[in-house]
Amino acid sequence: QVQLAESGGGSVQSGGSLKLSCQISGNSGYIDGIYSMAWFRQAPEKGREGVVAVDTDGTKIYADSVKGRFTISHDSAKNIVYLEMNGLRPEDTAMYYCAADKPGYYDRHHLDLERYTYWGQGTLVTVSS
């Protein structure tokens, strides 16, 4: 169906930057059915939370906690979604997951994890103070 592979995580100091990538692969029919791609994160002992999402029409939705610091972009030709993170804070430390939706779930909120069917394995971001 659809496979997602994240990369780009690492350890940085507070105020630093990282750029995550999510490579999309799989059956073209399923990929064509994707309307939204999103990044979620999960800190230790916390639930998974939506960070940012992007639709195929370019609409972007950001969580308040990352507005002005994080930027999502989508290279449709390469089937890659990027998450550029600037001004990182210790509270941004988490495993970051890429997610994609499919038909039948478009009515869910963009940062609702129930909207998304396809998930990557995650990439770890650690921010030290």
- What mean pLDDT is predicted for residues 85-97? 98
Residues 82 and 72: beta-carbon distance below 8 Å: yes
How sure is the predictor about 9, in pLDDT bands with cuts at 50, 70 and 90? Answer: very high
Report whether pLDDT(84) > 90. yes
Residues 28-56 pLDDT 10s = 889 889 999 999 999 999 999 999 999 98
Closest CA to 37 of 77, 86, 2, 74: 74
Task: Tell me the C-alpha distance between 2 and 95, whole Å.
Answer: 20
> What's the confidence (pLDDT) of residue 43?
97
Residue 73 to residues 34, 45, 78: CA-CA distances in angstroms?
15, 29, 12
CA distances (Å), origin 64, targets 26, 35, 61, 96, 109:
32, 22, 9, 17, 15
State what percent of residues in the chain have pLDDT above 90: 84
Instruction: Name the band, by pLDDT with cuts 50, 70 and 90, for residue 76.
Output: confident
Q: Percent of the chain scored above 70 by pLDDT?
A: 100
User: pLDDT-derived band of residue 87, with 50, 70 and 90 as boundaries?
Assistant: very high
For residues 115 and 107, the model is more confident at 115
Residue 71, pLDDT > 90, answer yes
